[in-house]
């Protein structure tokens, strides 16, 4: 297979795998967060912050993909 093809697959994998990881953790944090909000809805800000922390992973994935694709 051409080297560009491999690179494209690598870029896709970088985003896909990190996205799955983010989704998995966000699902868990989100579920717990909704539980906390049901008790006390003034926690919204904190819950939102905790929920979005794993997004760092997929952003790193995006960066790696952009580097592989020669965008950066």
Partner 1 sequence: MTKISVTGSKSQLETVITELHDMGLMDIEEYEGEDLDTGNPFEEAEELSRTLVHLRSLLSKLPESEESEGSKNLQEIQEKCTDLEETVESIEREKEGLDNEIETLKDTINTLKKLRGIDLDFQDLKGTETLETYTGRIDCEKIRNESNYRYYEIFEGEQATVIAYRPDDQFESLLSSATKEKINVPELGVEGSIESIIKEKKNDLKNLKKKKSSKDSRLEEISKEWRRSLESSEEFLAEKVEKAEAPLKFATTNKAFIAEGWIPSEKFEQVQEVLCESTEGKIHIEEEDGENPPVEHDNPSIVKPFESLTDLMSVPKYNEIDPSVVILLTFPALFGFMIGDAGYGLSSFLVFLAGYKMVPAAQDIFKSLMWASFFTVIFGLAFGDAFGYVIFGDHHNALFALTGWEFLKEIPILFHRAEHLGQVLPVAAAFGVFHINLGYLIGFYNEYVNHGFMEAFLEKGSWVLLEISAVAGYLYGATVGVPLGLISVALLYKGEGIEGIVEIPSLVSNILSYLRIFGVAVAAVALAKVVNGLAAPLFEMGTMAGLIGGTAILILGHTFNTFIKIMEGFLQGIRLHYVEMFGKFYEGGGKKYAPFGASSS
From the number of C-beta atoms within 10 Å of its C-beta (0-12, 13-18, 19+), residue 59 rates as: exposed
From candidates 12, 20, 59, 67, binder to partner 1 by CB under 8 A:
59
From candidates 44, 54, 67, 68, binder to partner 1 by CB under 8 A:
44
Does 27 bind partner 1 (CB under 8 A)? Our answer is no
From candidates 17, 34, 52, 67, binder to partner 1 by CB under 8 A:
52
Residue whose CB is less far from partner 1, 24 or 44: 44
From the number of C-beta atoms within 10 Å of its C-beta (0-12, 13-18, 19+), residue 11 rates as: buried
């Amino acid at each position: 297979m051409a080297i560009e093809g491999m690179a494209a697959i690598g870029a896709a994998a970088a985003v896909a795998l990190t996205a799955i990881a983010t989704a998995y953790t966000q699902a868990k944090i989100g579920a717990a967060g909704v539980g906390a909000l049901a008790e006390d809805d003034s926690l919204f800000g904190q819950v939102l912050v905790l929920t979005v922390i794993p997004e760092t992973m997929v952003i790193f994935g995006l960066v790696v993909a952009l580097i592989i694709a020669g965008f950066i």
